[in-house]
Structure 1
Amino acid sequence: MSKAFDTEITETAEAFVGPWRQPRQMLQAQTYDAHASIHDDATAQKLGFKGGTIEGPTHFSQFAPLGARLWGQAWFESGCLSAHYRAVCYEGEEVQAILSKPASGARQCAIQMVKRDGTEVLRGTASVGDPAAPTALEARLGELKPLADPVILRDVKLGQTGKRQTVRMAFDQNMGDLYPFSLRQKLAVITENSPYYSSSDNPWGRAIIPMEMLSVLFQYRSKDEPLPTKGPAVGLFADQEIRLVKGPLFVDQDYEVERKVVALSGSRRTESAWAKTRVFDKANTLVATMLLNMATMKDSYAPYQEEYRQLYGRASG
């Protein structure tokens, strides 16, 4: 049987460290709500970024060899990455994944990704199974201040739940406006490839979906039943956790997803809806979950200030 990864990993007393990689940007043609996204150069530059940003979960692939090195097969079956995105990354920039070794017997540890200049791209936790301790985002959810004076998210309700949707990912299936590429195209440029992703030469006898592409699968039909947000406005992933409960998930197999709004929060520049996606197989077994904070940029919604004054009788602070 093939080895999961050939990635060169450096082991220190404190951590497993992956190689420097240059993630590829595949979302230049992404559209949602009929407009370009933060991954489009012109749109990103209007909002103060240098260019189109690399989508956060792209970085998850660099942690997969580290998780597999530490936990083996359990990583693919019950692994979890829980991350707060701290800085954007552009194509051509090099980044490195660092997984701190857990305390003896612990099933969770800290993770970090950095650029060459030391900029922290993300931080969070990696774990397998039930780690007992809260994940990075479970802890973060408990510390959030509720969203005050919403404008873009004023019609979104806490606890709002969508209908179940059937999703599938085949090798040559274009994943739609949100993800205008196929799994095969992604595997041609993925930062850490594995024979497990494209063949049956693995412990489960079927090609498995990489963790970064689980984000694509789970979001695939999200715009079929969108949240009642005001727009057009530009959003970006600010926090994301993908947890395998009974993994891995397989290529060309049907799954059902359902989403629930579990928190609403805000910052000086953004309004955020946190959605929890639960994923079931055909036997109705829970196989994975995703927690996603989609932060919408206030400045990208043209009538934000005007509507804020109409709603709250004063200028936005």
Structure 2
Amino acid sequence: MADAFDTEITETAEALTGPWRQPRQMLQAQTYDAHASIHDDATAQKLGFKGGTIEGPTHFSQFAPLGARLWGHAWFETGCISAHYRSVCYEGEEVRAILSKPLPETRQCEIQMVKRDGTEVLRGTASLGEPHAQTALETRLGELRPLTDPVILRDVRVAQTSQRQTVRMAFDQNMGDLYPFSLRQKLAVITENSPYYATADNPWRRPIIPMEMLSVLFQYRSKEDPLPAKGPAVGLFADQEIRLVKGPLFVDEEYEVEREVVALSGSRRTESAWAKTRVFDRAGTMVATMLLNMATLKDSYAPYENEYRQLYGVGGRR
């Protein structure tokens, strides 16, 4: 059987560190609400970014060889990455993944991704199996600044739940307006490829979906049952956790997903809806979950200031 990865990993007593990589940006043509996204150069530049940003879960692939080195095949079955995105990354920039080794009594460790100049792209936790401690985002949920005086999310409520949707990812399936590329196209440029992704030469005898592409699968039909947020407005992933409960998930296999709003939070620049996606196989067994903080930029919603004044009076945003 083939090894999962041939990635060169530097190991010390304290940590596993992957090589420097240059992730590819594949979302230049992404659209939602009939407009371009933060991954489009022109749209991103209007909002103060240097150009189109690389989607956060792209970085999860660089942690996969580290998780597999530490935990073996079990990583693909019950692994979890829980990350707070700290700064954006642009195509051409080099980044590396660092995984601190867990304490003997736990199966959870800290993770970090950094650029060449030391800028932190993300930080969080990686873990295996049943949680022995709160993940990075479970901790973060308990420390949130509540959303006050909402404008964009004023009609969104905690506990709102979507209808279940059937999703599938085949090798040559274009994943739609949100993800205008196929799995095969992703595998041609993914930072850490594996024979496990493209062939049945693995312990499960079927090609498995990389963790970064699970985000694509889970979001595939989300715009068919959207939250009642005001728009058009531009959002970005600010926090994301993907947990395999009974993995891996397989290419060309049918799954059902449902989403629930579990928290609303705010900052000076954003209004955030935190959604928990639960994923079920055809037998109804929950096989994975995703926690996603979609932070909508206030500056990207043209009538924000006017509507704020109408709703809450003069006083500006908080």
Alignment partner, residue 160 of structure 2: 160
Is residue 13 from structure 1 mapped to residue 4 from structure 2 by the alignment? no
Residue identity over aligned pairs, in percent, reads: 85
Query: Secondary structure, in 3 states, of the residue corresponding to 2:151?
Result: coil
Write the letter of the residue equivalent to 2:52: G
Alignment partner, residue 301 of structure 2: 301
Is residue 287 from structure 1 mapped to residue 290 from structure 2 by the alignment? no
Deviation at 1:13, TM superposition (A): 1.7
Give me the whole-angstrom Cα distance separating, in 2, the residues matched to 1:63 and 1:3. Answer: 16
Give me the whole-angstrom Cα distance separating, in 1, the residues matched to 2:312 and 2:23. Answer: 43
Give me the whole-angstrom Cα distance separating, in 1, the residues matched to 2:316 and 2:267. Answer: 12
Matches within 5 A, 1:270-281: 270-281=270-281
Alignment partner, residue 106 of structure 2: 106
Write the letter of the residue equivalent to 2:190: I
Give me the whole-angstrom Cα distance separating, in 2, the residues matched to 1:61 and 1:129. Answer: 19
**Does the Cα contact within 8 Å between 1:83 and 1:136 map onto a contact in 2?**
yes
Deviation at 1:143, TM superposition (A): 1.0
- Which runs of 5 or more structure 2 residues have no equivalent in the other structure? none
Give me the whole-angstrom Cα distance separating, in 1, the residues matched to 2:315 and 2:39. Answer: 30
Query: Secondary structure, in 3 states, of the residue corresponding to 1:44?
Result: helix
Matches within 5 A, 1:218-297: 218-297=218-297
Give me the whole-angstrom Cα distance separating, in 2, the residues matched to 1:288 and 1:28. Answer: 28
Equivalent pairs, count: 317
**Does the Cα contact within 8 Å between 2:145 and 2:267 map onto a contact in 1?**
no
Provide Cα deviations, 1:262-294, integer angstroms capped at 9, x if missing partner: 000000000000000000000000000000000
Is residue 76 from structure 1 mapped to residue 55 from structure 2 by the alignment? no
Give me the whole-angstrom Cα distance separating, in 2, the residues matched to 1:275 and 1:141. Answer: 12
Is residue 217 from structure 1 mapped to residue 217 from structure 2 by the alignment? yes
Deviation at 1:131, TM superposition (A): 2.8
- The CA RMSD over aligned residues, in Å, is 0.5
Give me the whole-angstrom Cα distance separating, in 1, the residues matched to 2:84 and 2:111. Answer: 10
Write the letter of the residue equivalent to 1:279: V
Provide Cα deviations, 1:174-202, integer angstroms capped at 9, x if missing partner: 00000000000000000000000000000
Is residue 148 from structure 1 mapped to residue 148 from structure 2 by the alignment? yes
Give me the whole-angstrom Cα distance separating, in 1, the residues matched to 2:291 and 2:298. Answer: 22
**Does the Cα contact within 8 Å between 1:240 and 1:291 map onto a contact in 2?**
yes
Deviation at 1:146, TM superposition (A): 1.5
- Which runs of 5 or more structure 1 residues have no equivalent in the other structure? none
Write the letter of the residue equivalent to 1:162: S
Write the letter of the residue equivalent to 1:307: E
**Does the Cα contact within 8 Å between 1:305 and 1:315 map onto a contact in 2?**
no
